[in-house]
Structure 1
Amino acid sequence: MDSIPEQFHDLFERETFAHFATMMPDGTPQVTPVWVDYDVEANRVLVNTARGRRKEKNVGRNPKVSLSMVDPDDPYRFVSVRGEVDELTEEGAVEHINELARRYMGVEEYPGLDDEEGARVQICIRPEAVATGQG
């Protein structure tokens, strides 16, 4: 298992988007831009989505994923993670999406939360390989 180096933790504290890759049923990759978070103590990268969305379906079937993110202020500084989803949980997922909405949108609550059909879910990713670059 690998972890995110401390000098890159700031990317998870700012409005940094990640590209999240999962595998479709036919084996082709599916990539989605996502809001992303990092639980330092648990060493888990966190993505939040709604039950029934493609990301959630894909990782439920195949937990192998990857994601990459580029520093919005320096396109040559990046973090890339390959890992495995070791938990899909609804516990704390609404609070987490609201926390992400504060960071990414500057609002207290994620808009449209009451209109979603599926419950919110956190996708918890255990990093197996981490690559970083510094510009």
Structure 2
Amino acid sequence: MTDTPFDPRALLAESRLGVLATIKADGRPQLSPVTPFYDREADVIQVSMTEGRAKTVNLRRDPRATLEVTRSDGWAWATAEGTATLTGPGSDPHGPEVEALVRYYRAAAGEHPDWDEYRAVMVSDRRVLMTMAVTHVYGGQVR
């Protein structure tokens, strides 16, 4: 019986909880729990975040980022590195910044029960969409 080789990109695609590392002004890492969505076809990771939070401020200054996810049993992990671009925040519920967040939500979670409410919250919360182009992925499993 042969084990199938571990695919860190598969773990990225199935994970909905991860830790995003950005770079603080003093050079130390800022770690933030996030709910990522990995688009394997486009090889990008997307995360919705709020304007003004540490990770958003850090990415506006230095777009390098790293995301790590683990399997629910803790015995496998995957790390993706890349460069992030930020879209938003938007002031128009039907503007391009909010439309990007709608596309992200649909891809990650499906249809929202009330799109008007979702759009209004994205504007009032000053939500920003991070899209990280993945440049390097690595990971492993213990067993």
1:51: how far off?
2.0
- Tell me the matched-pair count: 122
Identity among equivalent pairs (%): 29
| Structure 1 position 97, deviation (Å) | 4.2
Give the match for residue 26 of structure 2: 26
Q: Could you tell me which amino acid in structure 2 is paired with residue 60 of structure 1? A: R
State the AA in 2 paired with 1:39: D
2:42 counterpart SS class: coil
Could you tell me which of 73, 87, 101 is aligned with 1:93?
A: 101
User: Amino acid of the residue matched to residue 52 of structure 2?
Assistant: G
Structure 1-normalised TM-score? 0.72
RMSD: 2.8
* Aligned amino acid, residue 47 of structure 1: V
Change (3 A) 1:11 1:64: closer
Q: TM-score, normalised by structure 2?
A: 0.69
Gaps of 5+ in 2: 1-5, 88-96
Name which one, 1 or 2, has greater alpha-carbon Rg. 2
Provide closer, same or farther for how the CA distance between residues 129 and 10 of structure 1 changes in structure 2, counting only shifts above 3 A.
closer
Distance 1:121 1:38 in 2: 17
Q: Distance in 1 between matches of 2:8 and 2:61?
A: 33
Aligned partner of 1:56: which letter? T
1:108-123 matches, within 5 Å, as 108=113, 113=121, 116-118=124-126, 120-123=127-130
Answer 1 or 2: which has greater strand percent. 1
Partner residue of 1:133 out of 117, 120, 140: 140
Deviations 1:81-110 (A, max 9, x none): 12111x21234214524765x48xxx8466
Larger relative helix fraction? 2
AA at the equivalent of 1:9? A
* Secondary structure class of the residue paired with 2:74: strand
| CA positional deviation for 1:13 | 3.6
